[in-house]
Structure 1
Amino acid sequence: MTKRIGIGVVGAGAIGLRGALTHLSQPDAQERVKLAAICDPVPGRAKAAAEKFGVDKAYESYEELLADPAVEIVTICTPIGLHYEQGLQALEAGKHIHFNKTMTTKVSEATDLIEKAAARNLQIVASPGMMLHPVNRRMRRLLLDGSLGQLAWAITGTSAGSGTYHLNEEYRTGNDILTTVNPEWYYKKPGGGPMYDVSVYALHNLTGILGPAKRITAMSGIGIPEHKFRDQTIINEMDDSTTMLLDFGNSFHVIVYTTIAGTITDWLPNVYGTSGAIIGAKFGDVALRNPADRQPHVNDLHINLDESHVYEDIMQLVDLVADGKPTIVTAEHARHVIDIIESGYRAAATGQTQELTTTFQPLTIDELDVAVQI
């Protein structure tokens, strides 16, 4: 049997419980990984999570988890504004890292982590790995094989995360220590707001299918100034209504919206070309999503559990560390999406179009292992 990789789960909030522990405690995952440790600063929360999911050690401090020799990789499931500093600490401790979205809030932070990981021969996988979904790979194939003709324009967006979604999750509406997790950070600087939390999915879809963008302009503001959670009033500091216009070159422009109402299906883009269009995961009458579609590690044990994509990204890191198997879920792609978000906010604040400074290598047609039956 292959050696099991020891995982440390950083944070016992909604994503740590739902996206990491629920999946990693399943029997098939346990053949590959060992839940070595979990940490959370709320007294008793890590212990309760460890008891529920069979984690070996529970700590109240991140430093204790990093000092645990059984922990080989960490999945960082904490508020996004903490990711950069916690990533630095993990690399200094010699740990490989899976970042839940978004990896950082700034391009400079992402670059620093990428460079430090390379210097230490450590691996980073940064969610969300949207191009692992077959539907996105089929969309990419249609673009590359010329089925769309010359690209004209596209649109994608979301309203999820802008309103009350995070106030009503199952891990926030109960009565015990694991179901009373406070969502205040979602509405606070520097890592809150729906751009970093939810639009990151739409942007990974978009750029994974179309490739890297070149320039951006935007308008942005706060539509809902405060939220209620139990008996607490949360003042919203982060913009929840943002519309961006991205330039991909060759006069091909894309609208990306993050707003308090209305959304396009599953954060997938509608892409219009001179020879055809992808609309609602269909190319004409051809469905681009199949009922049997799965990400590589998402079998019947995982498909009906929430956040199976998080589990998939963690297992991409496990395969990379254990077997040296390359992954398309790269920190460079995540950095480019961070560039779009950071530059979009800057464009909105200044009224000036911003040049994007990062890029990544999108999938080539030879790397696409799914066919489109037209």
Structure 2
Amino acid sequence: MTDPGGAAAAGLAVSAPASRSGGAGRVVPLRIGIVGGGFMARVHAGAARSAGAEVVALASSSPASAARAAGDLGVGTAHESVDDLVHDPRVDVVHVCSPNATHAPVALAALAAGKHVVCEKPLATSTGEAEAMVEAAAANGLVGAVPFVYRYHPMVREARARVAAGEAGRVLSIRGSYLQDWLLERDDVDWRVDSAAGGPSRAFADIGSHLVDLIEFVAGDPLARLTSTTNRVHADRGGSRVDTEDEAAVVFETVGGAIGTLFVSQVAPGRKNRLLLDVSGTAESLEFSQEEPETLWVGRRSGTRLVPRDTARLSPDAARLSTVPAGHPMGYVDAFAGFVRDAHDAVRGGAPEGLPTFADGLRAARVTEAVLDSAASRSWVDVT
């Protein structure tokens, strides 16, 4: 992939794209440029189109790769380099879907060119890079958003609303897990396994970041300190040494005094994408499972019940994200579309509730760094 770092370092002139109007109050669709050509590029393209945007350009690791991906996704322009894409005057928002190690240089170049940015998680492979991205977005007056999309399940918003309203009582404990099996076998290989492309953390940075964001978002209470251990199941994959973790287990305390555990694994047989969050308060417990997103389990001493995704019974924020009537299942694709709608609303000057920004991506990077530090030192570590 063309390294755009030089463009950012050169201090390119910045002019944030203004909201475009088609006259008579008609809003012209935002124009999207995508960096990357894999699965996440496909997800971002679909979500952007669902939000009413136009995907006008794509760049990838090579001109040939960009051409293939653009053809597959129906994108009209395949740029020969990332630098060409971030300087394309037609592009209003750059969606960064490339390998983790490229997130910071690509996003910084896009911000320097005056583009709003939606950047995949982990936001960066170090807290220093993540801090630079937060600062660049703020300095240039641009939107920087990170797709922590599990926030956009309506029943997650319902759980958050119940905690915020005090219906759960004082939060006592939190349990979270995120389990997958796609890297179970020694022959299972992906660019994320290599720290040069994916960063020093794999399982926790990749899926643990989602889980930590969800815990803090729902509980409204950040992690204060933690202790952790990690596990590497295979010393090598596909003939190459492995230097990133397959699993991570964490015990934590929050600022508000709750205690909790979280566990992430990419080697759990039969678990495809099982994200589970359980919050216990003095009045009730709440459990959300990403693989069963249409309901929220609510437990009280007097009994338990399943709260369905029915707008007539939900909090306003949960109802806002319910885009189809009850009984018509919503899932991951709908949550992603909801996130992109809010990100694009912010680009137009809105202030959507709960939009995950670069600051949230930096927060996840800091927690990830604390998890690695604790696992290495076998000690408790304070989270900044």
* Same fold per superposition (TM over 0.5): yes
1:255 alignment partner in structure 2: 261
Deviations for 1:103-122, whole angstroms, at most 9, x for unmatched residues?
12333322221111111111
Q: Distance in 2 between matches of 1:265 and 1:50?
A: 28
**Is the CA contact (8 Å cut-off) linking 1:162 and 1:193 kept in structure 2?**
no
The equivalent position to 2:361 in structure 1, one of 328, 334, 341, is 334
Deviations for 1:142-191, whole angstroms, at most 9, x for unmatched residues?
323333333322211122266249x88xxxxxxxxxxxxx8323443453
Read off the aligned partner of 1:328 and give its amino acid letter.
Answer: G
The equivalent position to 1:183 in structure 2, one of 182, 190, 193, is 190
Q: Distance in 2 between matches of 1:291 and 1:265?
A: 24
1:274 alignment partner in structure 2: 282
Q: Distance in 1 between matches of 2:308 and 2:240?
A: 39
Q: Distance in 1 between matches of 2:286 and 2:72?
A: 44
Name the SS for the 1:215 alignment partner: strand
Q: Distance in 2 between matches of 1:162 and 1:224?
A: 13
Deviations for 1:323-372, whole angstroms, at most 9, x for unmatched residues?
43445222222222221111111111112322111xxxxxxxxxxxxxxx
2:106 alignment partner in structure 1: 86
Identity of aligned residues (%): 21
Give yes or no for the alignment of 1:287 onto 2:306: yes
Q: Distance in 1 between matches of 2:331 and 2:153?
A: 16
1:51 alignment partner in structure 2: 71
Pair 107,184 (structure 1): closer, same or farther in 2 beyond 3 Å: closer
Using the TM superposition, give the Cα deviation of residue 218 of structure 1 relative to its aligned residue in structure 2, in angstroms: 0.9
Deviations for 1:54-74, whole angstroms, at most 9, x for unmatched residues?
322102311111121111110
Pair 14,132 (structure 1): closer, same or farther in 2 beyond 3 Å: closer
2:229 alignment partner in structure 1: 219
Name the SS for the 2:223 alignment partner: coil
Name the SS for the 1:214 alignment partner: strand
Name the SS for the 1:78 alignment partner: coil
Give yes or no for the alignment of 1:124 onto 2:144: yes
Q: Distance in 2 between matches of 1:275 and 1:340?
A: 29
Name the SS for the 1:74 alignment partner: strand
2:218 alignment partner in structure 1: 209
Give yes or no for the alignment of 1:315 onto 2:341: yes
Q: Normalised by the size of structure 1, how large is the TM-score?
A: 0.79
**Is the CA contact (8 Å cut-off) linking 1:222 and 1:238 kept in structure 2?**
yes
Q: Distance in 2 between matches of 1:11 and 1:199?
A: 22
Name the SS for the 1:286 alignment partner: strand
Q: Distance in 1 between matches of 2:319 and 2:170?
A: 30
Pair 326,146 (structure 1): closer, same or farther in 2 beyond 3 Å: closer
Read off the aligned partner of 1:310 and give its amino acid letter.
Answer: F
Deviations for 1:79-116, whole angstroms, at most 9, x for unmatched residues?
11221121111111111100112212333322221111
Name the SS for the 1:9 alignment partner: strand
Read off the aligned partner of 1:242 and give its amino acid letter.
Answer: A
Pair 164,222 (structure 1): closer, same or farther in 2 beyond 3 Å: closer
Give yes or no for the alignment of 1:22 onto 2:46: yes
Name the SS for the 1:224 alignment partner: coil
**Is the CA contact (8 Å cut-off) linking 2:224 and 2:253 kept in structure 1?**
yes
1:364 alignment partner in structure 2: none
**Is the CA contact (8 Å cut-off) linking 1:10 and 1:40 kept in structure 2?**
yes
**Is the CA contact (8 Å cut-off) linking 1:133 and 1:295 kept in structure 2?**
no
Pair 264,139 (structure 1): closer, same or farther in 2 beyond 3 Å: farther
Q: Distance in 1 between matches of 2:256 and 2:353?
A: 30
2:7 alignment partner in structure 1: none
Structure 2's unaligned 5+ residue stretches are: 1-25, 289-295, 312-317
**Is the CA contact (8 Å cut-off) linking 1:161 and 1:193 kept in structure 2?**
no
Name the count of aligned residue pairs.
Answer: 334
Stretch moving more, 186-195 or 54-63: 186-195
Structure 1's unaligned 5+ residue stretches are: 169-181, 358-374
Using the TM superposition, give the Cα deviation of residue 205 of structure 1 relative to its aligned residue in structure 2, in angstroms: 1.3
Deviations for 1:262-312, whole angstroms, at most 9, x for unmatched residues?
779942311223332224541122224527778749669x97786443333
Q: Distance in 1 between matches of 2:333 and 2:97?
A: 12
Deviations for 1:9-59, whole angstroms, at most 9, x for unmatched residues?
000011112x1223445xx54xx3221210012442221222233322102
Using the TM superposition, give the Cα deviation of residue 238 of structure 1 relative to its aligned residue in structure 2, in angstroms: 0.7
